[in-house]
Structure 1
Amino acid sequence: MRPTDIAISNYRSIRRLSLPIHPLSVFVGETGVGKSNLYKSLSLLRDAASGRITRTIAEEGGLNSVCWSGIRKRGEDGRLRLTARFDRLKIGFPASLEAAFSGEPMIKAESIEATQGKRTVLLMERKNSLVSIRRDSGAWTSHKDAVLPSEPALAGFSDGRECPEIDLIRSAMLGWRFYHDFRTDPASPIRKPCLAITTPSLSADGSDLAAALATLYTIREDATDLHDAIQDAFPGAELRAWEQGGSCEFDLQLEDMPRPFRAHELSDGTLKYICLLAVFMGYRLSPFIALNEPETSLHPSLLAPLARLIVKASSRADIWIVTHSEQLMEALRSESAVPLRRVIKQKGATTIEGLTLGGEYRDDESDEDDS
């Protein structure tokens, strides 16, 4: 299940944005225009499915830190809103009688809708702590378990028998992957062996990198595509991954070196690129993958191979790339006809060139007119 569009209101520098999700979306812009806020707002939606959204907001400094930072008109609703085709949340401050700590982020409203043909059907509606569910018969009933004001109702639908459509949405969102950065310091778990557990998708921190690579070699027994990608980035090199004694490890043999290098010996840039290989070439790609500035610490010679990795993976998953690298942007442009979206600021608010108020890009409208 893939989302088709999202809307963001009152999140940091984003006053109001509605935009479609394409197989490959690339957002570029200067430092400080709010590119990372696009990435982080989608990550918050995933946290709603896992039940962590209010905790994440609290960890980021609370609502005063994450809500719209610009000028607000008197009486204007300033609640944070995150919307996907199948989920919408409104987040605000607690009222005086609600069971919450002072200043704790509260979920004021949630709704889940399904599109059936040209008709939109409401499946779940939440107002404060009251949650109502639409049954297959069309009748409405109250959710059997009460939810605290800080708990997303969406995270409670783990029993598919009660409402299978909502559980399907929740499961799909939990499958989203967000990669902000990979630690490459000497103590990073990426540089160490990991447990030998079949790993179809790399974790957000990359701590199961060796297992993700070994899954291709040992479980799939076919690492041809991975081998080709290594040759593209490091001509003449060979990457190996294996399981031994309940642990997984890997090494890289470079063409001009007398012996292979283990993970703890590799340079930061080389190790990070291997992480990106695992992201885009895993045994099973996540349905939605977002990366924030993946070019960081990479040698410029790796940006063209990275662009080819991204474009190829976009045939298997929806991918968001947020970057300020003009070189990566040009490499992506040479590999694909996908439009590159430029993030800008207008009157202090983050927006995207060519994006209409209706949530469509003007070049998409032109393509439809031509057809």
Structure 2
Amino acid sequence: MISTLAISGYRSLRDIKLSLSDLTIISGGNGAGKSSLYRALRLLADCAQGRIIQSLALEGGLSSTLWAGPESFSPAMKTGEKPVQGTIRKKAISLKLGFGADDYSYAIDLGRSATGPSFFSGDPEIKSEYLWMGEICRPANVIAKRNGPGVTIRDREGSWKQVFTQLAPFDSMMTHASDPLEAAELLIAREQMRDWRFYDHFRTDAAAPARRAQIGTYTPVLSSNGHDLAAAIQTIREMGDPEQLDAAVADAFAGASIGVSDASAGFILEMMQPGLLRTLAAHELSDGTLRYLLLIAALLSPRPPKLMILNEPETSLHPELIKPLARLIAHASQSTQMIVVSHSDTLVDALMDQPGTTQVLLDKELGETVIHDHESPLWKWPTAR
């Protein structure tokens, strides 16, 4: 399980460390930093996919994503005795992302490019990466490290071996140095990170992919846009937990049931509701109903991931669906570590009634995201040695 998330220099997250549990709820007011924290998690996952530089470019580049305030706040700035102003920088400009887990932990440090004039000079560089065993980084438990273009890994005898001397500044060691023989731990950690699953605002408009007939194949993992909803529901029924599927539907929609028809055009999701003489196809369902069925398909996956992150799953749902959603999330957290970003007090309260749940309440002070009533976990950013 991932026990710690650490972010430094990303948007309003100047320097934040938070503890995670089996089910962690991220809440706070508008502008408190919930979306930034969610995006930071996605950037971490992108490290294992080899696309963190591209993802940062889509956000406007490093300059647009860096913390925009001073490197630190003096006591006088915090009390308002002096205006917030820039200070003499003591450290290099950087964006750091990392997580601590009970098996493998990882951290990456990105900074400004040091290359000469180029069309790509606005791209950030990967300055360093570290992978270590356990939650706290110490010299003795580091497995692989990258400083600049050089990558070294620890072999089975505990000796360091150089595997790269000129790794490109936009390439991660997670994608280029993992090897089943020479760096099996790096490979395992990469695949675990690739298994993280994100769901963020399913489309439910009239042209949404989930409303159309779909080619049907076994689908143990619902896609992020929900285009394979019907196939995912049928997969749960055939190789997952059909009783839990029916119970989740009945919990949210009393007396209703869902099924899948195999028409010539493809799989079609159908719903039978009390009082109706025919089933309703996916294109006839309300936005809220369709969104809830998408959440059911995601949370009852027959192939649960190591970590699932939901971003504001309550969006467009009727208030009566919030408590059933909380029960559905709690059930999923029995087999998957869950992080839920939410602005719904009703959902937060319902989830906090579940055992093993942690709430992280974000707030803003002087433009910086802070956490109230949360014990900061032990965390040390790796340093070059």
Tell me the TM-score normalized by structure 2: 0.87
Which of 240, 244, 248 is equivalent to 2:267?
A: 248
Change over 3 Å in CA distance of 1:355–1:99 after alignment to 2: farther
Residue matched to 1:153: 173
Residue matched to 1:70: 69
Amino acid at match of 2:98: T
Residue matched to 2:82: none
| 1: CA distance, partners of 2:257 / 2:192 | 35
Q: Does residue 106 in structure 1 map to residue 125 in structure 2?
A: yes
Tell me the CA shift for residue 299 of structure 1. 0.4
Worse-matched range after superposition: 155-164 or 292-301: 155-164
Tell me the CA shift for residue 88 of structure 1. 0.7
Change over 3 Å in CA distance of 1:166–1:98 after alignment to 2: farther
Which of 67, 80, 86 is equivalent to 2:95?
A: 80
Residue matched to 1:301: 320
| 1: CA distance, partners of 2:321 / 2:216 | 29
Residue matched to 1:235: 254
Alignment of 1:312-351 (within 5 A): 312-336=331-355, 338-351=357-370
Helix, strand or coil at the partner of 1:4: strand
Q: Does residue 268 in structure 1 map to residue 282 in structure 2?
A: no
Tell me the CA shift for residue 63 of structure 1. 0.6
| 2: CA distance, partners of 1:117 / 1:104 | 30
Helix, strand or coil at the partner of 1:44: helix
Partner deviation per Cα, 1:241-288 (whole Å, 9 max, x = no partner)? 355669433111111322111111111111100011011111121110
| 2: CA distance, partners of 1:31 / 1:359 | 28
| 1: CA distance, partners of 2:169 / 2:35 | 28
Aligned partners of 2:133 and 2:141 also within 8 Å: yes
Tell me the CA shift for residue 358 of structure 1. 4.1
Amino acid at match of 1:340: Q
Residue matched to 1:176: 196
Amino acid at match of 2:174: L
Aligned partners of 1:28 and 1:323 also within 8 Å: yes
Aligned partners of 2:256 and 2:274 also within 8 Å: yes
Tell me the CA shift for residue 351 of structure 1. 1.6
Q: Does residue 129 in structure 1 map to residue 129 in structure 2?
A: no
| 2: CA distance, partners of 1:106 / 1:98 | 14
Aligned partners of 1:110 and 1:125 also within 8 Å: yes
Amino acid at match of 1:279: A
Helix, strand or coil at the partner of 1:239: strand
Worse-matched range after superposition: 237-246 or 201-210: 237-246
Helix, strand or coil at the partner of 2:226: coil
Amino acid at match of 2:361: R
Helix, strand or coil at the partner of 2:134: strand
Identity %: 36
Amino acid at match of 2:191: S
Aligned partners of 1:124 and 1:131 also within 8 Å: yes
Worse-matched range after superposition: 226-235 or 28-37: 28-37
Amino acid at match of 1:346: E
Q: Does residue 282 in structure 1 map to residue 301 in structure 2?
A: yes
Residue matched to 2:76: none
Change over 3 Å in CA distance of 1:135–1:100 after alignment to 2: farther
Helix, strand or coil at the partner of 2:169: coil
Tell me the CA shift for residue 146 of structure 1. 4.6
Partner deviation per Cα, 1:144-164 (whole Å, 9 max, x = no partner)? 585321111112245322211
Residue matched to 1:201: 221
Amino acid at match of 2:190: R
Tell me the TM-score normalized by structure 1: 0.90
| 1: CA distance, partners of 2:32 / 2:347 | 18
Helix, strand or coil at the partner of 1:143: strand
- Give the unaligned 5+ runs of structure 1: 361-371
Tell me the CA shift for residue 300 of structure 1. 0.3
- Give the unaligned 5+ runs of structure 2: 72-86, 380-385
Amino acid at match of 1:67: L
Tell me the CA shift for residue 87 of structure 1. 1.0
Aligned partners of 1:99 and 1:148 also within 8 Å: no
Aligned partners of 2:22 and 2:338 also within 8 Å: yes
Tell me the CA shift for residue 176 of structure 1. 0.2
Residue matched to 2:245: 226
Aligned partners of 1:196 and 1:246 also within 8 Å: no
Amino acid at match of 2:67: W
Residue matched to 2:35: 36
Worse-matched range after superposition: 74-83 or 101-110: 74-83
Tell me the CA shift for residue 80 of structure 1. 0.3
Aligned partners of 1:98 and 1:149 also within 8 Å: no
Amino acid at match of 1:233: A
| 2: CA distance, partners of 1:245 / 1:288 | 36
Helix, strand or coil at the partner of 1:194: coil
| 2: CA distance, partners of 1:200 / 1:54 | 30
| 2: CA distance, partners of 1:132 / 1:341 | 36
Root-mean-square deviation over aligned CA pairs: 2.3
Change over 3 Å in CA distance of 1:145–1:205 after alignment to 2: farther
